[in-house]
Amino acid sequence: MLKAFFKYRKKAIAYFGRHVEFNALTHLIGGIGLGIVIAAPLANPHPLRWALILLAIGIFCHIYAVSAKK
């Protein structure tokens, strides 16, 4: 299992290394989602929907990076 993780990690790092703009956008979206998750309970519970959507987009971008063909 650990060997499979490192295989996927290596593929993702290689993909993000070749596609720097996609890397930046993926981590920006995930960071905004994480920031909303951290700050939203202090202000208003409504933005949690947006946070979960942004985090899901970030996760799907990582899955795409692992599954993309060369």
Question: At residue 37, does pLDDT exceed 90?
Answer: no
Nearest in space to 60 (alpha carbons), one of 39, 32, 29: 29
User: What is the tens place of the pLDDT at every residue in 38-68?
Assistant: 887 666 667 778 888 889 999 999 888 888 8
What's residue 45's pLDDT?
61
Quote the domain boundaries for residue 25.
14-67
What's residue 47's pLDDT?
78
Residue 8 lies in a domain: no
Q: What is the pTM of this model?
A: 0.76
Residue 62 lies in a domain: yes
Q: Count of domains in the chain?
A: 1
Residues 6 or more apart whose Cβ sits within 8 Å of residue 53: 33
User: What is the tens place of the pLDDT at every residue in 7-36?
Assistant: 888 888 888 889 999 999 999 999 999 988
